[in-house]
Each structure stands twice: as structure tokens, then as C-alpha cells.
Amino acid sequence: MDKIRKNKLEKNFGRMFWIQAFSNLKVINVIGTLFFLYRGLSLSQLFYISAIWGIVSVLSEIPSSYLADRWGRKKTMIAGVLFSLVHWILLIFAHNFTVFLIAFIFASIQYSFFSGTDDALVYDTNRELGNSDGGLKRLGKLYSAKSVFKIIAPLIGAFIAKDLLEWQFLVIIGIDIVATISAFVFALLLTEPNHYMDLEEMEAGVMKDAWKLIKFDPLIFRAMISRALVFLSMFVVWRFHQKFFVDIKLPIIWLGISWSIIHAINFFYNQNIEKFIDKNLLQKKINLLNLLVFFTITLFVIGLYIPFNKYVFLFLYSVTVLVEMSRWPLYAEFYNRKSKSFNRSTTLSLANFVKGFLDPIILLVAAVLVAKDINYVFIWSLCLALIPVLFFRLSKDLQNKNG
């Protein structure tokens, strides 16, 4: 490898960091549900839109994986950022269900274009540079990028939109548009790494590769189910948590503070992931974190019927989110150690395909439940978190099977 290419490849890590940082700024998230309600949507409609988001994710996940492997990681990332930009622009004009739905469809496609592709680009860059170790550390840095700006973004969002006025929402959307344009610039500067593809394997097709992964290594499929269900147990609550806390008279600024603390801790954790995780006990750590999510949701549900102080609710919710987020780099490391370089992007995207398949089912149930009683959704969340604990625990620690 010549020196110029080596220098370009080494810059991929920093550029991917900033792509993730700017793409995940999303200042609007701290008041997103309140914004949607202000613009005329109901909670049930929010869940319906989220369900359709999941369907689109299913339909675009495997094609996006194919593009990442054939067309290139860099081009797929660039396209994803452009889809995100369209999403933000549509939100400026969205005042009805249809426009919001279109905006969410673009956001879903962006998510599919990023999922698996970002991890694969980092791993393949690391491998081309001849670094056999350090994959988990690199992934930790990548995942920490998702939190770096979010350390302050929730505070900014909560402060700007403290009165929940139209102009305040537009200012926040404007900030997110600028961040997305910044991500686009960094995506243009990426260098495409070698994929180490086996052409004969690639001729078999992406779907065949995905089927082989499940058929010959069912542990991967168990991991995909457990990751998806625990995430969705948290997501159904996240989708309306702002309204819940506003209804119990929690000041919006406290939501901003809690989310800033969550992302600060998550940033530190991901920056130093290799210090916290023994890679020989990877599955054990994943099982433990899934159990902790179930435990904290259980306490939250108990509090609905034996009323807790609003700040106790906020603490329990924050801990649950933090624990759930901490699982992601572990699952990414798990998938990458169980897959070969040529289909790494396929493996990671298949995990999101599984989640996307479950999304509409779980969210449609939540849409029905929230129309009856908001507490029912919390109970639904608890049931979802329980399933992986009982039926999808990961077995003894794996051996590295990377090719």
C-alpha cells in the first residue's frame, strides 16, 4: 500500500466520526413528540407512522446492503445523507399525516443506507490498514460519535423550544439541516476501502448470503431477535415519553438535562469501550444488559400503580435508555466476529432487517394500546423486554470466525 492511500484511509475514522456526529445531532429529538402533536398528529398516528417507517426499512435494508457491497460504502453513505436532508426539509412544511409520513419514509431509507454500511466501512478500513486488532475500539469511537453533540443538543433544544411555539420549532429544524449538510461534506471526503469480496460468494446474491448466515449459525439470528426486541421495548416508550413527562408536570428543561447526561455517559463509555468489555465474555455482557433493561422497565411499570415522584420516573427512564444504548457496540462486535469481510455489511444490515420486520407488528399494537390507555404501552414494553430474557439468551462465548 502506498503512503498516500494509507493516509487517506486513516482519515476515514475521523470522517466517519463526524458524519455520525452531525447526522445524529437531531436537536428536535428532545421535543419531537411534542412538535408532532403541536402540528396536529395524535399519539396513535405517531405509532402508525413509525410502523410504516419499519416497513420501509424492511424493504430497503437488503437493497441498501447490496449497494454498499457492490456500489460502494462511500456512495451509499452519501446517498443516505441526502435522503436525511430531504426528510428535514419536509418537516418544515409538514402539517398533516401525509407529509409527515413522506418525511419519515425518507428518514427510514437514510437509516437503511447507514445501517451496516458505516460499521463495514470502519472494519474494512481497519483491515486494509493491516490492523488485525482494535476493531471493537474503532467501533466504540464510531458509536461515541452519535452522542458527542447530543451532550449539549438536548439542552439547546429544550431551551429554544421551552414555550413550544412554531418559530422555536423551525429554528431547531434549521439547526438540524445545517448539521446534515456538514455530514454530507464529510461523506464526500471518505476513501473507499477494499471489501475483500469473494466474487463466487457474491454471485450467490445478498439474500442467499443472509440465509446462509442464519442456517449455519443460528446464534446470529438469536442475537438479532434479542437486540431488536429490547430496542423496541425502549422505543415504544421513547415515542411518547415527552408527553408522559409533560403530563406529570415535569419541566421540559429537565428532559434536556437528563438526555444530556445520558449522552455524556454514553460518549465516555463508547470512547473507552475496550476498557469496559472483556471480549471473551461478550455474550454474557449482552445477556446482563438485556436483563437490566427488563428490570428497570419493571420498576417503572410498578411506579405507574404505586405512584413515584416524577423525578424518580425520570431517573428510571434515563437508566433504561442508557443501558439499552450501551448494548449496541457489543452487538456490532458480535456480528462482525461472526461474519466474513465480504458479507459484513450484509450481516449488519440483516440485523436491522429483522428489527424492521418486527417494527410494524409491535408498533401497530402500541398504536391500539395508546388509544385506550397510555399505561398499556408501558406494560407492552415490559412484555417485549421479557421475551429475550426468557427465550433468546445468547449461549456460551463464541470463537472468532472472521475470514
Write out pLDDT tens, residues 225-272.
899 999 999 999 999 999 999 999 999 999 999 999 998 888 888 777
Distance in Å from the first CA to the final CA of the chain: 21
Q: Is the pLDDT of residue 69 over 70?
A: yes
C-beta of residue 121 within 8 angstroms of C-beta of residue 13: no
| Residue 11 binned pLDDT confidence (cut-offs 50, 70, 90) | confident
- Helix count and strand count (H, E) for the chain: 20, 0
C-beta atoms surrounding 223 within 10 Å:
24
Q: Quick one: pLDDT at residue 316?
A: 96
DSSP state of 29: G
What b-and-e string marks burial along 377-402, b requiring 16 or more CB atoms within 10 Å of the CB? bbebbbebbbbbbeebebeeebeeee
Cα–Cα nearest to 96, from 149, 33, 40: 40
Dihedral sign, Cα of residue 335, residue 124, residue 80, residue 213:
negative
Q: Quick one: pLDDT at residue 389?
A: 93
Percent of the chain topping pLDDT 70:
83
Q: Quick one: pLDDT at residue 197?
A: 37
Average pLDDT over residues 16-39: 92
Write out pLDDT tens, residues 126-141.
877 777 555 556 666 7
Q: Is the pLDDT of residue 386 over 80?
A: yes
| Residue 14 binned pLDDT confidence (cut-offs 50, 70, 90) | confident
The number of CA neighbours under 13 Å toward the Cβ of 329 is 32
Question: How far is it, in rounded angstroms, from Cα 126 to Cα 370?
Answer: 45
Given its phi and psi angles, is residue 278 left (phi above 0), alpha (psi -120 to 50 degrees) or beta? beta
| Residue 147 binned pLDDT confidence (cut-offs 50, 70, 90) | confident
Q: Supply the mean pLDDT for the chain.
A: 84
Domains of the chain: 3-391 (1.20.1250.20)
State the pTM of this model. Answer: 0.79
Question: How far is it, in rounded angstroms, from Cα 388 to Cα 381?
Answer: 12
Write out pLDDT tens, residues 173-227.
999 999 999 999 999 998 888 765 332 343 345 556 566 666 666 777 788 889 9
Average pLDDT over residues 66-89: 90
| Residue 326 cell numbers, joined | 450501551
Residues 6+ apart with CB under 8 A from 100: 36, 39, 41, 49, 91, 94
Q: CA-based Rg of the chain, rounded to a whole angstrom?
A: 20
What b-and-e string marks burial along 158-191, b requiring 16 or more CB atoms within 10 Å of the CB? bebbeeeeeebbeebbebbbebbebbbebbeebb
More confident residue, 71 or 397: 71
Average pLDDT over residues 263-287: 79
Given its phi and psi angles, is residue 116 left (phi above 0), alpha (psi -120 to 50 degrees) or beta? left
